Amino acid sequence: MARVLIVDDAKFMRMTLTNILQKGMHEVVGEGENGRIGVELYNRLKPDIVMLDITMPEMTGIDALKEIKAHDPNAKIIMCSAMGQQKLVVESIESGAKDFIVKPFDESRVLEAISRVLEM
C-alpha cells in the first residue's frame, strides 16, 4: 500500500485517480489543483508517491517535479497528461519522473505504475 498525493487541476481526474487507487488498496493522503499547492503538500505530507499532471495553472507539473526533486532527490513521481507528446515525456523523465501515464486513465496501467515505482 502506498500513500499517494494527487495533483491535477481537474477535479474529475483527481476523483478518477482516487477511485482507482482506493480500489488498489492505496491511500490518497492529499489532493492539489496546481503545481504550487502540490509542492507545498509534498513537503507537508511526505507521500510515498506523487501523481502529477503536466498542464496546470500557476505552476506546471514539470516545474513542480523539478522543485520537489530539488528538495527531495528520492521523491517518487509519476507524471500524468492528456498530451502524450514525446517531448514532455522525455523532459519529465530527464527531470526525475519515475513513470508517465497518459489520460484517460487505464486502471490496470495506473496500479501497475504505482507497484513498479514503489519497488524502485
- CA 61, CA 26: separation in Å to the nearest integer? 22
The structure's pTM equals 0.94
Query: Which domain covers residue 83, as residue numbers?
Result: 3-118
Domain with 64 in it: what CATH number?
Answer: 3.40.50.2300
Question: What are 40-92's pLDDT values in tens digits?
Answer: 999 999 999 999 999 888 999 999 999 999 999 999 999 998 766 678 888 89
Provide CB contacts within 8 A for 86, sequence distance 6+.
none
Buried b (16+ CB within 10 A) or exposed e, 64-85: bbbbbeeeeeebbbbbbbeeee
pLDDT at 86: 72
Number of domains within the chain? 1
* Cell 481526474, residue located: 13
Question: What are 15-42's pLDDT values in tens digits?
Answer: 999 999 999 999 999 999 999 999 999 9
- Inter-residue contact 41 to 59 (CB < 8 Å): no
Q: What type of residue sits at position 116?
A: R
